[in-house]
Structure 1
Amino acid sequence: MKILYIDTVSGIAGDMTLAALADLGVNLEQVAARLRTLPIDAFSMDTKDVIKKGISSKQLLLTFDEEHGHHYLHDHVHNHGHHNDHTHNHDHHHRRASDILEMISDSELPERVKLRSTKIFEVIAESEGRIHGMDPKDVHFHEVGAMDSIIDIIGVCLALEQLDVDQIIASPVPPGSGKLNMAHGLYPIPAPATTDLLKGIPLASLDVNGELTTPTGAGILKALSAHFGSIPAGRILGIGYGAGKKDFPHHPNVLRVLLMEDVPSHQNQERVHILECQVDDMTGEALGYTMERLFEAGVLDAYYTPVHMKKNRPGTLITALVDTVHAEQVENCLLQETSTFGVRRTEAKRRPLNRRVDTLSTPLGEVRVKVGYDKDKTYQTSLEYEDIKRIAERENKPFGQVYREILYETYDN
Structure 2
Amino acid sequence: MKYAYFDGSSGLSGDMILGALIDLGVDAALFKEKMAGLHLPVEIAVRRVRRGGFGAVKVDVHVKGRGHVERTFADVERVIRRSRFSSSVKDRALAIFKRLFEAEAKVHGRRIKNAHLHEAGADDALVDVVGAAFLLNELGVADVYCSPLNVGSGWVKTSHGRLAVPPPAVAELLKKAPVYSAWVESELVTPTGAAIVSTLAKRFTKLPELLYEKIGCGAGTKEFPEIPNVLRVFCGEARKFDGAKQVYVIEATIDDASPQLLAYFIERAFEEGALDATLSPVVMKNNRLGTKLTLLAAIDRMDRLIEAVFRETTSIGVRYYPVGRRVLEREFESVRVGRERIGIKVASLGGRTVNVQPEYRDLLKASRRSKRPLKEIAHLAVCAYAKKR
Shorter-chain TM-score: what band? 0.5 to 0.7
For 1:102 and 1:326, the matched residues in 2 are separated by 36
Determine helix, strand or coil for the equivalent of 2:235: strand
Residues 187-217 of structure 1, C-alpha deviations (whole Å, 9 max, x = no match): 1011110111111111244131100011111
CA contact under 8 A between 1:50 and 1:57: conserved in structure 2? yes
Counterpart for residue 7 of structure 2: 7
Partner deviation per Cα, 1:350-395 (whole Å, 9 max, x = no partner)? xxxxxxxxxxxxxxxxxxxxxxxxxxxxxxxxxxxxxxxxxxxxxx
Q: What residue is the counterpart of 1:216 in the other structure? A: 192
Q: Does the aligned pair in 1 maintain the 2:104–2:116 contact within 8 Å?
A: no
Q: Which amino acid in structure 2 is aligned with residue 27 of structure 1?
A: D
1:3 is displaced (CA, Å) by 0.8
Query: Is 1:237 the equivalent of 2:213?
Result: yes
Do structure 1's residue 55 and structure 2's residue 54 form an aligned pair? yes
2:208–2:243 contact (8 Å) kept in structure 1: no
- CA separation in 1, counterparts of 2:238 and 2:100? 33
Residue 183 of structure 1, CA deviation: 0.3
**What is the CA distance between 1:138 and its match in structure 2?**
2.1
Q: Matched residues in 2 for 1:204 and 1:220: separation?
A: 18
Q: Which residue of 1 aligns with 2:102?
A: 126
**Cα gap change, 1:204/1:183 in structure 2, threshold over 3 Å: closer, same or farther?**
same
Q: TM-score, normalised by structure 2?
A: 0.63
Shift of 1:9: 2.7
**Is the partner of 1:176 in helix, strand or coil?**
coil
- Greater radius of gyration (CA): 2
- Percent pairwise identity: 32
TM-score by length of 1: 0.59
Tell me what 1:150 maps to.
126
Q: Which moved more, 1:255-264 or 1:163-172?
A: 255-264
Deviation of 1:340 (Å): 8.5
Query: How many angstroms does 1:330 deviate by?
Result: 7.2
| Contact 1:129–1:136 (8 Å) recurs in 2 | yes
SS at match of 1:210: coil
Contact 2:15 2:128 in 1 (8 A): yes
- Residues 136 and 34 of structure 1, relative CA distance in 2, 3 Å threshold: same
Residue 61 of structure 1, CA deviation = 2.1
Change (3 A) 1:252 1:310: closer
Measure the CA separation in 1 of the matches of 2:142 and 2:301. 23
Q: In the alignment, which residue of structure 1 is the partner of 2:80?
A: 104
CA contact (8 A) 1:200 1:326 kept: no
Counterpart-to-counterpart distance in 2, 1:272 and 1:226: 17
Indicate conservation of the 8 Å contact 1:17/1:156, yes or no: yes
* Cα distance in structure 1, aligned partners of 2:6 and 2:85: 24
SS of 1:166's partner is strand
For the 8 Å contact 1:235–1:263, the answer to whether it is kept is no
Give the alignment's Cα RMSD to 1 decimal.
4.0
- Is there any run of 5+ residues in structure 1 with no aligned partner, and where? 69-88, 274-308, 346-413
Q: Which whole-Å CA distance do the structure 1 matches of 2:115 and 2:302 have between them? A: 28
Distance 2:86 2:150 in 1: 32
1:207 corresponding residue in structure 2: 183
Tell me the equivalent position of 1:29: 29
Q: CA deviation at 1:41?
A: 2.1
Q: Are 2:87 and 1:116 equivalent residues in the alignment?
A: no
Structure 2: gaps (5+ residues): 249-259, 274-297, 321-389
Q: 2-side partners of 1:186 and 1:167: how far apart?
A: 36
